[in-house]
Structure 1
Amino acid sequence: MNITTPNSSNKPKQSTLNTILTNLTFWVLIAIITGVLLGHFSPQNGVKMEIVGKTFVDIIKLFIGPIIFLTIVLGISGMGNLKKVGRIGIKALTYFEIVSTIALAIGVTIAYVFKPGKIDKTGLALQDASQYTSGTAEHFSWLKFFLSNFTLQVLAAAIICGIALNFYQKREQTILVLERISKVVFMGLKYVMYLAPIGAFGGMAYTIGKFGLQTLIPLGKLMLCVYLTMILFVFLVLGSILKYYKISILAILKYIKEELLIVLGTSSSEAALPNIMVKLEKMGCSKSVVGLVIPTGYSFNLDGTSIYLSMSVIFLAQLYDVHLSFFEILSVIGILMITSKGAAGVTGSGFIVLASTLTAIHKIPVEGLAFLLGVDKFMSEARAITNLIGNTTATIVISKSERDFTDLNLDPISEG
Structure 2
Amino acid sequence: MSQNPPTHTEPGPRRPLLARTADRAFFAAAMLVFAAGIALHLAGSRAPSLTVFAIALRWIGLALFLPVALRLRSLLVWTFYAMIAGVVLGLDAPHIAGQLRFLGDLFLRLIRMIVAPLIFGGIVTGIAGHGELKGVGRVALKAILFFEVVTTLGLLLGLVAINLTHAGAGVALPAATQAVAPAAHSETWQQLILNIFPENIAQAVAQNQILQVAIFSLLFGTALATLPESKRAPLVTVLQSLTDTMFRMTKMIMVVAPLAAGAAMAYTISTSGLALLASLAKLAVTYYGALAAFILLVLAPILVAGRISVRRFAAAIGEPAAIGFATTSSEAALPLAMERLEEFGVPRWIVSFVVPTGYSFNMTGSSVYLTMAAIFAAQAAGIHLSLGEQLIMLATLMLTSKGVAGVPRATLVVLMASAADLHIPSSAILVLLGIDTLMDMGRSAMNVIGNCMAAVVVARWEGELGSPAQTA
> Cα distance, 1:312 vs. partner?
0.5
Match of 2:367 among 302, 306, 314: 306
Match of 1:27 among 78, 81, 89: 78
Hey, what does 1:406 align to over in structure 2?
A: 466
CA contact (8 A) 2:69 2:78 kept: no
CA contact (8 A) 1:106 1:307 kept: yes
Hey, what does 1:43 align to over in structure 2?
A: 94
Alignment of 1:122-271 (within 5 A): 130-131=180-181, 133-136=182-185, 141-142=191-192, 143=194, 150-169=209-228, 170-271=231-332
Distance 1:154 1:225 in 2: 37
What amino acid does structure 1 have at the position aligned with 2:82? A
Q: Structure 1 pair 115/285, CA: closer, same or farther in 2 (3 Å)? A: same
1:8-33: CA deviation from partner (whole Å, max 9, x where unpaired): xx999899989835332232222111
Q: Structure 1 pair 260/373, CA: closer, same or farther in 2 (3 Å)? A: same
SS of aligned partner of 1:315 = helix
> Cα distance, 1:326 vs. partner?
2.3
Q: Structure 1 pair 119/404, CA: closer, same or farther in 2 (3 Å)? A: same
Q: Does structure 1 residue 75 correspond to structure 2 residue 126?
A: yes
TM-score of the aligned structures, taking structure 1 as reference length = 0.89
CA contact (8 A) 1:235 1:249 kept: no
Q: Does structure 1 residue 295 correspond to structure 2 residue 346?
A: no
Hey, what does 1:107 align to over in structure 2?
A: 158
SS of aligned partner of 1:256 = helix
Distance 1:185 1:409 in 2: 18
> Cα distance, 1:400 vs. partner?
0.3
1:155-188: CA deviation from partner (whole Å, max 9, x where unpaired): 1110011101112231112111111122222111
> Cα distance, 1:127 vs. partner?
10
Hey, what does 1:280 align to over in structure 2?
A: 341
Match of 1:332 among 386, 390, 393: 393
Distance 1:222 1:18 in 2: 32
Distance 1:270 1:200 in 2: 14
CA contact (8 A) 2:112 2:208 kept: no
Q: Structure 1 pair 252/48, CA: closer, same or farther in 2 (3 Å)? A: same
Hey, what does 1:7 align to over in structure 2?
A: none
SS of aligned partner of 1:265 = helix
Hey, what does 2:104 align to over in structure 1?
A: 53
> Cα distance, 1:325 vs. partner?
2.1
SS of aligned partner of 2:421 = helix
SS of aligned partner of 2:390 = helix
What amino acid does structure 1 have at the position aligned with 2:140? G
Q: Can you give the 5+ residue segments of structure 1 that lack an aligned partner in the other structure?
A: 1-9, 412-416
What amino acid does structure 2 have at the position aligned with 1:102? L
> Cα distance, 1:409 vs. partner?
6.4
What amino acid does structure 1 have at the position aligned with 2:80? L
Q: Can you give the 5+ residue segments of structure 2 that lack an aligned partner in the other structure?
A: 1-14, 24-67, 199-206
Distance 1:127 1:202 in 2: 34
Q: Structure 1 pair 137/242, CA: closer, same or farther in 2 (3 Å)? A: closer
Hey, what does 1:88 align to over in structure 2?
A: 139
SS of aligned partner of 1:405 = coil
Distance 1:229 1:112 in 2: 12
**Which structure's relative contact order is higher, taking Cα pairs within 8 Å and 6+ residues apart?**
1
Cα RMSD (Å): 2.6
Hey, what does 1:390 align to over in structure 2?
A: 450
> Cα distance, 1:138 vs. partner?
6.6
1:194-215: CA deviation from partner (whole Å, max 9, x where unpaired): 1111111111111111111111
Q: Structure 1 pair 202/250, CA: closer, same or farther in 2 (3 Å)? A: same
Distance 2:460 2:177 in 1: 47
Q: Structure 1 pair 18/316, CA: closer, same or farther in 2 (3 Å)? A: closer
Distance 1:359 1:51 in 2: 36
Q: Structure 1 pair 348/329, CA: closer, same or farther in 2 (3 Å)? A: same
Distance 2:280 2:187 in 1: 30
Residue identity (%): 36
Alignment of 1:351-362 (within 5 A): 351-361=412-422
> Cα distance, 1:72 vs. partner?
0.7
* Corresponding pairs, count: 399
Distance 2:146 2:404 in 1: 18
What amino acid does structure 1 have at the position aligned with 2:180? S
